[in-house]
């Protein structure tokens, strides 16, 4: 009993009840086609200048059709800021091509310059897009530093290559840690953490499957060429022309198989990162994308886009976006309304930070 004579609340009654929310996507290929075709026409007519406005319209469409617990996300970026970022990127590219055409030794200047500039470009783009995205009037933010980006995107990949790929899984983990652990929502941090063994298992599976594919492919092609040689009219004669399409088809199938494997590995890593992510240390994200379904969607999207001379592109974008978004979830500890209200109050303390002048989108 409490001092006032009323029963004290039990421990069970004080426990917070988790609420599970699935992400939804409400966009359609037909709707996005109307936006895409106008974007394409105006971009061509303005010699690429309208591409910044096209980017904003596209992102607003996809974020606006991404729904969580009955509320959609919003995108607030200014197209002018995106245009400035692209003009800087184009100026660097033109300067590189012109200088290298005059002297190949210009590479000695440009390579260090790119290595120095790339982390800043990455950080600026991530911060720009985070600060211009909101959910229920609460803004996201990105707090990563130049030094962190340099380690994640330059040093770790170099170490991975110098170790003949042995440390590439750790390099990938460093990149994911930098990306996720420096995002915030209303000042509340996202955090992901998983063991080296968990990501190594995924890469080892990919390596084992690729080895089996190479082994099976070697046996198949060895038998194919032996059979071809045994039926050749005479030694020294060229391969029959009718066999060239067969070889081309086999080569294309092998390439598709390895691309599918890379996409499968990337999907498994994505699931691992998202499932290991929490917001504010208590709200847990989830992801259950299929490492078989994602490559199938991506490969068939490419084929259908090529077969329709690009017309299928809007439907392809909506198709993969819907699959990814609708296979993600958020388990909130308590009411999501309470959390967003708390986050909105926290956001006011960082209001000025959201409008950083030097944040630009470079399309990275």
CB atoms within 10 A of CB 251: 11
Alpha helices in 46-135 (DSSP H): 51-64, 79-102, 107-131
Q: Mean per-residue pLDDT for 54-74?
A: 96
Question: pLDDT for 121-138, tens place per residue?
Answer: 899 899 999 999 999 989
Q: What does the pLDDT read at residue 10?
A: 47
Cα 258 versus chain centre, distance? 19
* Mean pLDDT score of the chain: 86
Q: What does the pLDDT read at residue 323?
A: 98
Which of 78-82, 152-156, 300-304 has the least mean pLDDT? Answer: 78-82
Bridge partners of 277, per DSSP, are 192
CB atoms within 10 A of CB 333: 19
Question: pLDDT for 5-48, tens place per residue?
Answer: 555 554 444 577 888 999 999 999 999 999 999 999 999 999 99
Predicted TM-score of the model (pTM): 0.85
Percent of the chain scoring above 90 in pLDDT = 59
């Amino acid at each position: 009993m409490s001092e006032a004579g009323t029963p004290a609340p039990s421990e069970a009654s004080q426990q917070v009840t988790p609420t599970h929310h699935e992400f939804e996507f409400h966009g359609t290929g037909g709707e996005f086609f109307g936006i895409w075709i106008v974007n394409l026409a105006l971009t061509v007519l303005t010699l690429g200048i309208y591409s910044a406005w096209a980017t904003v319209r596209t992102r607003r469409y996809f974020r606006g059709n991404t729904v969580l617990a009955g509320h959609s996300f919003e995108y607030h970026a200014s197209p002018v800021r995106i245009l400035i970022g692209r003009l800087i990127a184009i100026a660097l590219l033109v300067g590189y091509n012109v200088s290298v055409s005059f002297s190949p030794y210009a590479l000695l200047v440009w390579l260090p310059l790119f290595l120095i500039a790339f982390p800043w470009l990455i950080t600026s783009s991530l911060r720009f897009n985070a600060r211009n995205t909101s959910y229920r009037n609460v803004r996201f933010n990105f707090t990563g530093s130049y030094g962190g980006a340099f380690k994640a995107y330059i040093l770790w990949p170099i170490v991975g290559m110098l170790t003949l790929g042995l440390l590439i899984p750790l390099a990938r983990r460093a990149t994911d840690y930098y990306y996720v652990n420096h995002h915030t929502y209303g000042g509340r941090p996202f955090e992901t953490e998983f063991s080296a063994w968990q990501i190594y298992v995924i890469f080892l599976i990919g390596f084992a499957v690729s080895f089996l594919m190479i082994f099976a492919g070697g046996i198949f092609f060895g038998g194919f060429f032996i059979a071809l040689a045994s039926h050749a009219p005479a030694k020294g004669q060229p391969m029959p022309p009718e066999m060239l399409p067969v070889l081309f088809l086999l080569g294309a199938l092998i390439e598709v198989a390895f691309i599918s494997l890379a996409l499968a590995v990337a999907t498994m890593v994505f699931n691992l990162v998202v499932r290991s992510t929490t917001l504010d240390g208590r709200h847990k994200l989830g992801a259950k994308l299929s490492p078989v379904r994602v490559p199938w969607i991506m490969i068939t999207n490419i084929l259908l886009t090529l077969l329709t001379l690009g017309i299928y592109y809007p439907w392809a974008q909506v198709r993969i976006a819907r699959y990814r978004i609708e296979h993600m979830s958020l388990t909130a500890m308590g009411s999501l309304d309470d959390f967003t209200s708390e986050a909105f109050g926290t956001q006011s303390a960082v209001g000025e930070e959201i409008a950083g002048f030097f944040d630009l989108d470079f399309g990275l």
